[in-house]
Amino acid sequence: MSLLEVEGLRIEFPSRHGTAVAVKGVSFTVEKGEILGLVGESGAGKSTVGNAVIDLLSAPGVIAGGNIKLDNQTISGLHGEAMRKIRGRRIGFIFQDPMTSLNPLLTIETQMVETIMVNLDLDKAAAFEKAIELLESVGIPEPAIRIKQYPHQFSGGMRQRVVIAIALSGDPELIIADEPTTALDVSIQNQILELIRELCKKRQVGCLFVTHDMGVIANVTDRVAVMYMGDLVELGTTEQILCRPEHPYTQSLISAVPRTDVKLHRFPSVEYIEKAEGHQIDVKNHWLGEQEVFGNPSGDVLLKVKDVDLRFETQSAFFKKNRRYVQASNKVSFDVRPGETFGLVGESGSGKSTIARVIAGLYPPDAGSIEFAGQDITRLTEKERKPFRRQIQMVFQNPYSSMNARMTVRDIIAEPIRFHDLAESERQVNQIVSDLLDHVGLGRASGVKYPHEFSGGQRQRISIARALATRPRFLICDEPTSALDVSVQAQILNLLKDLQEELGLTMLFISHDLPVILQMCDRIGVMKMGSLVETGDTDRIFSDPQHEYTQHLISMMPRVENLSHEGLEIEAQVAHV
Amino acid sequence: MLLFLMRRLMQGLIVMFVISIISFSIQDNLGDPLRELVGQSVSEAERQKLRDEIGLNDPFLVQYSRFLGNALQGDLGQSYFFKEPALDVIFAKMPATLELVFAATLIIILVSIPAGVYCAIRPDSWGTKLILGFSILGISVPVFLTAIFSIYLFSIELGWLPSYGRGETTSVFGLWESGLFTRDGLLHLILPAISLASIMLPLFIRLIRSEMTEVLHTEYVKFAKAKGLKKVRIYFLHALKNTMLPVITVGGVQIGTMVAYTILTETVFQWPGMGFLFLEAVNRVDTPLIVAYLIVVGGVFVVVNTLVDLLYGLVNPTVRLARTAQ
């Protein structure tokens, strides 16, 4: 008898336009002390399964079939008071974003003590003691002081520890963790994963671990269930799924995960994802391929960043000594050579995006200089900067907020061409936009649509088309794929690689994701707290990191393929398909 | 904290200064104060002399700087009609208005929070449809109509409540004429307070409902459910506290506005407060009193908003007052 048995679970979302089936007859079990990974891409229905177990489906979702048993007692179909007694007491829940799952207006003490009081029937004093004990066990230093504080006084990792402590506070038999580390930095992610694993093993608690991240799956789970479009397509041990996947979807999913051992020329193309539309054009003989002579073309350095300093005021005051600053960039210097991809890697808050914005001329630096094609562009008037703006374009992280929702895709892409007066006639503008849409794989017909009609990956294609519309030489990509699913990420990265080859683009590629950096970049700079701690060729940095922090980062990198060597062969085979 | 209060004081002074300029500069357009000051029998020559004496013939800037100099010493001029310092006249009427606003605010808080929360928790119930329907009605019916209708119903037809005046009042420390401590005073307060509250009530019910609906969809409310908490605690602690943040901000502005709205209510109910006084002052072209009233009401606005910001800081730990002062 298993701890959790899910049998033929079917979840529907009825609406006026018909019924959407989110989960189509899924069955699996979780044993005591076991961590079962539930993996899939966005829209696969994996979170829906987790929510259904404790009756927290968002409206109008309903369990339309099958049943869920906890310790041989049927809990599907329980609502209200009966389900409340199971939540917290028998099933603990950990949410994705620790920044939003704690109430910002209540102290940690209030939020923990209320949970313990209701679930363990303790009085306030005993609950407080238990809360301190729990905080200690999840590794929060000085719990007696910290418990009096509010969530905003904790860092992201610390908050997730608090959330875990709360999830454990009712001594549950089962924990459902819904993407618990997706919002965290890689080194903190590792600590949290270790904590969850240790707690599950020590307390013999079963865990349903929902994630989209194969690296996390490899690190923490015992068995894995793979979901695709509401179906459970494969279930097996972690080792079998990662190294000998049987279902073609699992195979293509795993092949899309960026490798951490060898650099491949392109990502293996994957099936089971949205198809690219339109046909590729011959860019070299196209308007887009015409490069104008700009600046000093013979130099072997296209972009020179020299001793850039930038600090932001975090607390303003009338007297200088009372002001507080954060040093976002501290004497950062590096060169980018023509045609190469230079990677900036670091954890959140390390100043990567700040540097990108300084280069793009969005922030003026406090000190230091930026040279582009031999010309100092640090302090230019808006008019002097205009030709450089054309040469340097950006692709932003979030494809949902970086486009005007009230403009058609055609206008979004045409805007920079019109602004810089690049085309001779409106007819030529239209022609260029159509060709661009075809080339980035959207198809010219999609120009009349609005951004919200596209998926995240398609929107990022629009962003890329927009960035290319001014015929830039230098492309800044700020976390271009961190909001995307892994298979879509592979497509977008391939597209960037192809475009770079065809157009001779130089790229500054910013990411917190080491495997992606390894696959994309020729040289890398590692940033920490506003300083560039190490620069070097990608191979050298990964094989022989010199700085302590780089070594730490690389050791934290989740690895999929070091489970077994057989895995590599499968991946290689898939790569050839 | 000290820095915050100092900044607020500075801002308040600037606001007051602007109000004084505006209110002082409109006084020329209100009519001739001489008409009310002196009888019909006074000759034109004497009128001119009197004008010179009060300084009505001086250039605007001279008049204004004289006014400002006096104002800084706490003197907003002499009421033409009452022949008393304008401020004293206003302060004598202020308790009536503030008690009316206080009672209306109390009604709004006690009704809008439960009603708004109910609408958010049970969005599809009949009760919700009824409350929202009534609130539409409340928004569209003007306040004097509500007042007149309620007088007709409760005073004339049913005879339950008095229709005008403040009733019996008691003096608190000889400074404040209060109607809150006698049965008669309280009975007189009910109808004016309800009709004053009726303007703002629908707005607050709708505001609380929409904020609460949003808060109920947040992750921390979902997490609170997953923790196994009882519904009452989720709704009235976790959700309501977060709902109140924007409501407090809007509330501050609205309470100030309500002081201004009392003009209508006080007129209908013959309530001897500042609003009623102001209307009389306008009719009598009692310019010093009009200017003083506008400045006092401006001051009430500034004080209420400062208090609201302090309250906001108490509820929301992420706002430290020194920082909001940025």
Report the CATH number of the A283-301+338-364+381-573 domain: 3.40.50.300
Copy the structure tokens of residue B248: 């407090």
d(CA A337, CA A385): 21
Is B220 in Cβ contact with A102 (below 8 Å)?
A: yes
Do residues B259 and B101 lie in contact, with contact meaning Cβ atoms separated by under 8 Å? yes
DSSP E strands, A155-260: 174-178, 206-211, 223-228, 231-237
* Ordered DSSP codes for A239-284: HHHHHS--SHHHHHHHHHSPPSSS--SSPPP-SSSPPPBS----GG
pLDDT at B117: 92
Probe site for chain A from B227, B233, B234, B314 (most A CB atoms < 10 A): B227
Across the interface, of A101, A150, A169, the residue whose CB is closest to B223 is: A101
Asked if the model's pLDDT at residue A577 lies above 50, the reply is: no
Is the omega angle on the peptide bond into residue B272 within 30 degrees of 0, that is, cis? no
Whether residue B65 has pLDDT greater than 50? yes
Cα separation, A521 vs A537, in Å, equals 9
Q: What is the pLDDT of residue A567?
A: 40
Answer whether A31-54+77-257 and A283-301+338-364+381-573 agree in fold: yes
Give the C-alpha distances (Å, rounded to integers) separating A391 from A292, A388, B129. Answer: 10, 5, 58
Domain ranges in chain A are 31-54+77-257, 283-301+338-364+381-573
Answer whether A523's CB lies under 8 Å from A340's CB.
yes
Give the up-direction half-sphere exposure of residue B315: CA atoms within 13 A in the CB hemisphere: 18
Q: How many CB pairs under 8 A join A and B?
A: 82
Q: So what's the pLDDT on residue A535?
A: 92
Per-residue pLDDT for A294 more than 70?
no
Cβ A454 vs Cβ A462: under 8 Å: yes
Task: For residue A56, list chain B residues with Cβ-Cβ distance below 8 A.
Answer: 222, 225-226
> Considering only CA atoms, which of A232, A227, A253, A254 is closest in space to residue A243?
A254
Q: What is the pLDDT of residue A269?
A: 63
- What is the residue type of A565? H
- Over residues A500-520, the mean pLDDT reads 89
Of A15 and A67, the structure prediction assigns the larger pLDDT to A67
Residues B185-239: pLDDT tens digits?
788 888 888 888 888 888 899 999 999 999 998 889 999 999 888 888 999 989 9
DSSP 8-state symbol, B154 = I
Tell me the percentage of chain A whose pLDDT exceeds 70.
Answer: 90
Q: Any idea which of A465-479, B47-61, B79-93 has the lowest mean pLDDT?
A: B47-61
Contacts of A442 (CB under 8 A, 6+ apart): A276, A277, A278, A409, A454, A458, A461, A462, A465
Q: Does A114 touch chain B (CB under 8 A)?
A: yes
**Tens-place pLDDT, residues B140-183:** 888 778 888 888 888 877 878 777 777 777 777 766 777 777 77
Q: Which residue matches tokens 């003096």?
A: B171
Confidence band for A296, pLDDT divided at 50, 70 and 90: low
* Chain A nearest-CA residue for B226: A87
Q: What is the structure's pLDDT at A316?
A: 64
The verdict on a CB contact (< 8 Å) between B230 and A118 is yes
Q: Are B299 and A131 in contact (CB under 8 A)?
A: no
Q: Within 10 A of A367 (CB to CB), how many other CB atoms are there?
A: 13
CB contact under 8 A, A106 and B228: no
> How far apart are alpha carbons A446 and A277 in whole angstroms?
10
Residue A503 clears pLDDT 90, i.e. is over it: no
**What whole-number percentage of chain A has pLDDT above 90?**
22
Edge-to-edge strand ranges of the sheet holding A367-372: A324-336, A303-315, A367-372, A375-376
| Mean pLDDT of chain A, nearest integer | 84
Looking at mean pLDDT, say which of A100-104, B5-9, B50-54 comes out highest.
Answer: A100-104
On the question of pLDDT at A45 being above 80, the answer is yes
**What's the pLDDT at A526?**
93
pLDDT band at B115 (very low <50, low <70, confident <90, very high): very high
How far off is chain B from A36, nearest CA to CA, in Å? 20
Q: How far off is chain B from A573, nearest CA to CA, in Å?
A: 42
CA dihedral for A414, A416, A422, A424, sign (positive or negative): positive
Does pTM surpass 0.90?
Answer: no
On chain B, the residues whose CB falls within 8 A of the CB of A118 are 227-230, 233
Closest residue to A101, CB basis, from B219, B229, B317: B219
Residue A565 predicted with pLDDT over 50: no
| φ, ψ dihedrals at A516, nearest 5° | -65, -45
**Average pLDDT of the segment spanning A376-381:** 84
Return the closest-CA partner of residue A295 out of A507, A474, A522.
A474
pLDDT band at residue A278 under the 50/70/90 scheme: low
Of B219, B226, B238, the CB nearest to A100: B219
The topology under which CATH files domain A31-54+77-257 is Rossmann fold (3.40.50)
CA distance A414 to A433: 6
pLDDT value at residue A92: 92
- Select the residue of A105, A114, A169 nearest B241 (Cβ to Cβ): A105
Touching B: A residues 150-189, CB under 8 Å: 150, 152, 163, 166, 169-170
Contacts of A101 in chain B (CB under 8 A): 219-220, 222-223
Q: Does A95 touch chain B (CB under 8 A)?
A: yes
